[in-house]
Structure 1
Amino acid sequence: MSSPAARPSLAMRAPLIVVLCGCMIAMLTFGPRASSGIFLLPMTREFGWGRDTFGLAIAIQNLLWGLGTPFAGAIADRFGVVRVLFVGAGLYALGLIAMAHAATPELLQLSAGGLIGFGLSGCSFNIVLAAFGKMLPDRWRPLSFGAATAAGSFGQFLFPPLAAGLNASIGWQETLTLFGLAMLLVLPFSLALATPRGPARADSGPRQTIGGALGEAFRHPSYVLLVLGFFTCGFQLAFVTTHLPAYLADRGLSIAIGGWTLAAIGLSNMVGSLGAGWLSSRMPKRYLLAAIYFARGIAIAVFVLLPASPVTSIGFGVVLGLLWLSTVPPTSGLVMLMFGTRYLAMLYGFAFFSHQVGGFLGVWLGGVFYERLGSYDLVWWLAVALSFASAAINLPIVERPVERGVQPA
């Protein structure tokens, strides 16, 4: 009779349960932050703020989300993900509830910026992806990465129109409070993602310290290129999520169209993320990333040049959604391919920090340039230029494991 210690883990016995619970966490945590643009106009109108004030708070959120992710990842790598998910969900819930009562710019920066930003670093899909990489059998990993990303996209499909509807019926403050309470649902789902402490089960490389792993990664040219390219993804996603509803309102469309456009991005991205997860195991990941970034640049340019209408707006949402978070499966897959799973959460966290620095600048510059120029056009065209730059940056990436014991090539 086998001992309890020899019993296979839940991920080995029922990997589908682990994937479903991780996907629920991704959906719940991605939804409210994808709805931030729905709260821009009601909050700025009520308190007389400029869009740069709201934009700065969301920019701080993006930056702190990125800054906290490597540390949350290192803690998850060392002690397992459940504690990290619990703390992250608690901070996220507190931040949303505090945002509902933020009557000054400083309180908005503390709640929407600090609390939600650090909360996201501990309970967003980044931690879920790392848990999947450590827990699941090899054959489940590529598709599970796409599934978790797609689940986050379903949160983006579900929450923005829900936020717009609730704002109209019960008010924006009550909507934020309800969203905060919904984050507590993360706690029971996180129990299925209990990972073993210490090195990952499937990583057979030599033992490393955290410092050794970081040094190895940042001396590796392909990792540096991957990190730099991911900056563009964050710039575009954060700018669109925060400023698109207001941009469409400026062009004569209703805030509801903004909500449905964000929802279309989320729904379409479910297809895009699953497709990227499937393709990332069947073609070179660097080519997939380059194609995604190049196509984004084309899509944004066409959208800005076309006249504004519900059809063009929602059509843009569908096209951009196919390319939205589809960068995540190949990016996380490349990190795992290069360095294994032992420090996957931390090393992907540093790539995500670059993503969130881009997000900070996208949100912040959107508000600043709007207040100074009365238009978002400059930021849209900057997003196009960054797309083409990232497409080129990803092409030289070398897709092979790092050679341990020698200088990475």
Structure 2
Amino acid sequence: MLQVLLCGGAVVTLSMGIRHGFGLWLQPITQEMGWTRESFALAIAIQNLSWGVLGIFVGMMADKLGAFKVLIGGAILYALGLVGMALSPSTLLFALTAGVLIGAAQAGTTYAVIYGVLGRQIPPDRRSWAMGVTAAAGSFGQFFMVPVEGGLIAQFGWSNALLILAVIALVIAALAFGLREPGFGGTAGAAPQRDQTIGQALAEAWTNPSFVLLLSGYFVCGFQVMFIGVHMPSYLKDFGIAPQVASYSLALVGLFNIFGTYIAGNLGQKMPKRYLLSGIYGLRSVVIIAFLLAPLSPWSVYLFSAAMGFLWLSTVPLTNATIAQIFGVQHLSMLGGFVFCSHQVGSFLGVWLGGYLYDRNGNYDMVWYLAIALGIFAAVVNLPVREQALVRKPAAA
């Protein structure tokens, strides 16, 4: 169990840490290349959509072939995408590399794949905790990698910084060796027992109201975190806040989310997860309202980042543990992929609307208001979720 936790946490630390810093590249790339903010935002939005849509099929592959092969492929795609992002001469190629390629890489190196391994290898009474630990690792990646990426940009320029990150991304392939599972790819041990086909698992999930409600809440999560993560640096610079404040604020989000996700995973073993999810989404709206009403200063930014960071990825272990609790772990990566696809559709809209409405209105006000309203919506729709495990009738002889 310890090896799985360490290697899975390290993979998520690198994969999520790299992608959380992409907002730092918005202004240097658009200014040097003469592109609009919307063009950069669209590429990152495509990245999130690619991650979500391809994550469904990557999840199917991970459930069938094991995480090892998927992680190797994901690491290679991540490196290629970062190189393409650094060298793209046009917005089209930038969208294909920063968008499609890196999105596919993230699908194969983040939560859906890693949580599938955890679900199969960790006992149910420790599963929510283990997922919280792994989500905390992703938060540590943000805390650690965002300042590193900011330093790389300042020291080597934005293009060379991306090439350095491409080399770092390949470390994920080495970590994949610690996540090989018994019964997959010729490794010793018994293969996971399967009493459902993919079609049966999908039919069961999509006719279950709780699955649809979890999808809806996760959509909101994606909208909020990606709008803030990508557009916060530019929002602050528009008000004359020093650039390093943005780097520190994103790092604070990662730091405080280490505690938030770990605590959420622990509480998920003891309390109804639907109440925790509802509270997290509701508190996000309260924190955003307080941030917009308070006078803007570096300290108000830091306080907002700490509070939002505590709630940032806390939904991840709770949502995935709820899916495992209801539907079991046979097709957990696939079902997690569907739920995460909803998250990424929200991410697409949060990133793209941030750029589009800024270019149209000259400010981010409308997107902030949408984030508040959606947080209230998510708080409401998570309350009716039924967490009891489904009881399936034995198949006919």
Identify which of 95, 110, 113 aligns with 2:96.
Answer: 110
Task: Write the mapping of 1:224-263 to structure 2, written as runs, cut at 5 A.
Answer: 224-263=212-251
Take 1:405 and 1:247, find their aligned partners in 2: how far apart are those partners?
A: 54
Larger mean Cα displacement after TM superposition, 188-197 or 272-281: 188-197
Instruction: Write the deviation string for residues 248-271 of structure 1: whole angstroms up to 9, x where unpaired.
Output: 101111221111110000000000
The amino acid of 1:369's aligned partner reads L
Tell me, yes or no, if structure 1 residue 371 matches structure 2 residue 359: yes
C-alpha deviation, 1:140, in angstroms: 3.3
Identify which of 7, 20, 34 aligns with 1:48.
Answer: 34
Conserved? CA contact 1:89–1:187, under 8 Å: yes
The amino acid of 2:31's aligned partner reads R
Task: Write the mapping of 1:6-405 to structure 2, written as runs, cut at 5 A.
Answer: 15-197=1-183, 207-405=195-393
TM-score, normalising length from structure 2? 0.96
C-alpha deviation, 1:103, in angstroms: 2.2
C-alpha deviation, 1:197, in angstroms: 4.5
Instruction: Write the deviation string for residues 297-350 of structure 1: whole angstroms up to 9, x where unpaired.
Output: 000111122222110111111000100000011100110011100000000110
Larger mean Cα displacement after TM superposition, 124-133 or 227-236: 124-133
Take 2:190 and 2:285, find their aligned partners in 1: how far apart are those partners?
A: 40
DSSP 3-state at the match of 2:45: helix
Take 2:276 and 2:190, find their aligned partners in 1: how far apart are those partners?
A: 28
Conserved? CA contact 1:69–1:353, under 8 Å: yes
Instruction: Write the deviation string for residues 36-75 of structure 1: whole angstroms up to 9, x where unpaired.
Output: 1100000010011111000000000000000111111110
Runs of 4+ in 1 over 4 A off after TM superposition: 200-204
The amino acid of 1:75's aligned partner reads M
Conserved? CA contact 1:203–1:340, under 8 Å: no
C-alpha deviation, 1:169, in angstroms: 1.4
Conserved? CA contact 1:203–1:341, under 8 Å: no
C-alpha deviation, 1:139, in angstroms: 3.7
Take 1:125 and 1:70, find their aligned partners in 2: how far apart are those partners?
A: 12
C-alpha deviation, 1:401, in angstroms: 1.1
Query: Mind listing any 5+ residue stretches in structure 1 that lack a counterpart?
Result: 1-14
Conserved? CA contact 2:129–2:268, under 8 Å: no
Take 1:175 and 1:203, find their aligned partners in 2: how far apart are those partners?
A: 42
Conserved? CA contact 2:182–2:191, under 8 Å: no
Instruction: Write the deviation string for residues 250-295 of structure 1: whole angstroms up to 9, x where unpaired.
Output: 1111221111110000000000000000000100000000000000
Take 1:258 and 1:149, find their aligned partners in 2: how far apart are those partners?
A: 22
State the percentage of identical aligned residues. Answer: 45
The amino acid of 2:65's aligned partner reads F
Take 1:42 and 1:107, find their aligned partners in 2: how far apart are those partners?
A: 17
The amino acid of 1:175's aligned partner reads A
C-alpha deviation, 1:201, in angstroms: 7.5
C-alpha deviation, 1:125, in angstroms: 2.6
C-alpha deviation, 1:130, in angstroms: 1.3
Take 1:196 and 1:402, find their aligned partners in 2: how far apart are those partners?
A: 26
C-alpha deviation, 1:373, in angstroms: 0.2
C-alpha deviation, 1:225, in angstroms: 0.6
Take 1:201 and 1:303, find their aligned partners in 2: how far apart are those partners?
A: 53
C-alpha deviation, 1:369, in angstroms: 0.2
Take 1:153 and 1:249, find their aligned partners in 2: how far apart are those partners?
A: 24
DSSP 3-state at the match of 1:302: helix
Query: Mind listing any 5+ residue stretches in structure 2 that lack a counterpart?
Result: none
Take 1:287 and 1:203, find their aligned partners in 2: how far apart are those partners?
A: 32
C-alpha deviation, 1:203, in angstroms: 7.6
Take 2:93 and 2:235, find their aligned partners in 1: how far apart are those partners?
A: 25
The amino acid of 2:245's aligned partner reads I
Conserved? CA contact 1:135–1:201, under 8 Å: no
- Name the count of aligned residue pairs: 390
